[in-house]
Structure 1
């Protein structure tokens, strides 16, 4: 699993609590106060103030790496120990050539949230050196956009890492356009990514890891197989651990695919167990009567299945507008 746990250490740095001081190995001057946003003003004074604010935004500061905390989404499912060691060796020999990007922590004075550059922060923590960083005032939306675009440009994330990033953005309330902009891909690709991560448990995906050589088609196949006969995630992880014995993520994926491809022998029904009546279905049709799919309602859920060959993108339109539709529905109730 390499230094996988060290990445989570950056997300929740144990040695530095909410009120912790900078690392004692670094001078206090290495943790400058976040740049203040210039107050809007008119005329020459306003222009000078804006110029000063722009210069501060472009200035490269040296800050204590232990003052940097989590920010944005988790874009990497694992790390490569050899790559991390090579990065640390290169920084030790030649110095940090490319600055990271952080923003002032919105809740903790004197601390920062990472936008991009996690691996450089980890390497510099290990080396006991300050981090060269650009410090910019970014809201949550701008942070995620910058993080997604930087990682897409600098490192070819695997399919499942991009899918996991898209899922986190969806859970955080971002619409499809924002996700497409962050990952520089179209809505069709986003829909396929989400169809994988919504059918395979998140803890199982994290257990598999980045699987860099596994593309979209094989992940879709595994998602189809997993959804057709759901498994207990913890049991599957235990079995895969025995099959690959700590091997790389590509091997963990291959083991999962092999496990799901095994012949399925359903457990014989218990004749004494009461039968649960199957929930009725109703067709989903267009205004012209064309059948788009079907809906099934039970005591605990409503499942709508659309035929994508017939819906022709309506599913994306519907998913994008569900928050607005729900808001309008609440208005009809007076909520």
Structure 2
């Protein structure tokens, strides 16, 4: 039903009635156009009521449109707001978070966060970006100012990533870990590229670095804001040497390591692994003729046989030709 018939009175009739009185049918106080006082009449009162109803409906519809388009800022209870389903940080320093909370306490929250209605829980919301501001609002017991938008999963992570790109406090490893987590959740690489603002080659390098590192080790080191891709790649190469991954795990569990800041944790671990020797064990196999034609080198991940061509010429080829039969014999004995 058209709004002009909400209470059964035609706008055309009202306009004609007011035209007979020689007055404007609409007050526009914002524009400075206010009609002169006029004698009360039934038709004029009805028209004013109709105008008020229409304006209220239009204001409500405009607010709904702004909320749907993310143009209006609302205040939400932080208890009703959940984090994004993909983390983009490896932790925030306590002093930095306290400083943010104090700033909001003194000056208010100047920049709203972006949330969407929670896809699985009615009455709740999920953050696209603004996790630190949300945490600060919780800390000081205040409402959090937010823009609410209907976002798909892809739109949320793109918004989250692009907001992060405008800041300088996300480190290389945090961005790379965020990209890897998105790929593990099934997001296409073009979506991840849009979220991070990087090209295909850069994204591939970022994900490759994370794939070469134990996630527990990355989390133990933290964001390491001063450490770039080259140094993380060097660390991955050190960890791939025999026995060093296990040594690194033991080293990072030490309390003195955990007490350092993130950049220092990276540096001391890198220096430790550079100095650590690969744990190997090498022995010579003694043959019945008292020669030692084979040297056996063992590490925690593999065993290597080295053949001495001077002491036993052709013995390496002899063993190589019989590897298949030896393996079949091994399977029969072990039941594999």
- Given the two structures, how large is their TM-score scaled by the length of structure 1? 0.63
User: Which of these two proteins has the greater Rg computed from alpha carbons?
Assistant: 2
- Tell me what 1:185 maps to: 198
Q: State the Cα deviation string for residues 139-185 of structure 1 (Å, max 9, x = none).
A: 10100000000011134411101110111111011222221111111
Residue 53 (structure 1) shift: 4.5
Structure 1 regions of 5+ residues with no counterpart? 1-47, 279-335
Residue 203 (structure 1) shift: 1.1
Tell me which of 160, 168, 181 is aligned to 2:181. Answer: 168
- Tell me what 1:239 maps to: 251
Separation in 2, partners of 1:52, 1:61: 11
Q: 1:64 to 1:225 in 2, by over 3 A?
A: same
Q: 1:270 to 1:136 in 2, by over 3 A?
A: farther
Contact 1:72-1:143 within 8 A present in 2 as well: no
Q: State the Cα deviation string for residues 274-309 of structure 1 (Å, max 9, x = none).
A: x9899xxxxxxxxxxxxxxxxxxxxxxxxxxxxxxx
Q: State the Cα deviation string for residues 99-150 of structure 1 (Å, max 9, x = none).
A: 0011111111111111111111111111111011111110101000000000
Structure 2 regions of 5+ residues with no counterpart? 1-58, 286-295, 305-336
Q: 1:265 to 1:204 in 2, by over 3 A?
A: closer
Residue 245 (structure 1) shift: 4.8
Contact 1:87-1:120 within 8 A present in 2 as well: yes
- Verify: 1:121 aligned to 2:134, yes or no: yes
- Tell me what 1:152 maps to: 165
Classify the secondary structure of the residue corresponding to 2:281: coil
- Verify: 1:135 aligned to 2:148, yes or no: yes
Q: Which fold has the larger relative contact order, with Cα–Cα distance below 8 Å and residues 6 or more apart in sequence?
A: 1
Q: 1:163 to 1:245 in 2, by over 3 A?
A: closer
- Verify: 1:268 aligned to 2:281, yes or no: yes
Q: 1:90 to 1:243 in 2, by over 3 A?
A: closer
Tell me which of 229, 240, 247 is aligned to 1:227. Answer: 240
Contact 1:62-1:131 within 8 A present in 2 as well: yes
Residue 200 (structure 1) shift: 0.6
Q: How does 1:250-289 map to 2 (within 5 A)?
A: 250-268=263-281
- Tell me what 1:209 maps to: 222
- Tell me what 1:74 maps to: 87
Q: 1:65 to 1:92 in 2, by over 3 A?
A: same
Residue 246 (structure 1) shift: 0.8
Q: How does 1:93-108 map to 2 (within 5 A)?
A: 93-108=106-121
Residue 193 (structure 1) shift: 1.2
Classify the secondary structure of the residue corresponding to 1:58: coil
Residue 70 (structure 1) shift: 2.2
Separation in 2, partners of 1:65, 1:226: 42
- Tell me what 1:41 maps to: none
Separation in 1, partners of 2:152, 2:284: 59
Tell me which of 53, 59, 66 is aligned to 1:55. Answer: 66
Residue 49 (structure 1) shift: 11
Q: State the Cα deviation string for residues 182-223 of structure 1 (Å, max 9, x = none).
A: 111112211221121101111110110000011111111111
Separation in 1, partners of 2:65, 2:160: 21
Residue 270 (structure 1) shift: 8.1
Residue 242 (structure 1) shift: 4.6
Separation in 2, partners of 1:191, 1:67: 37
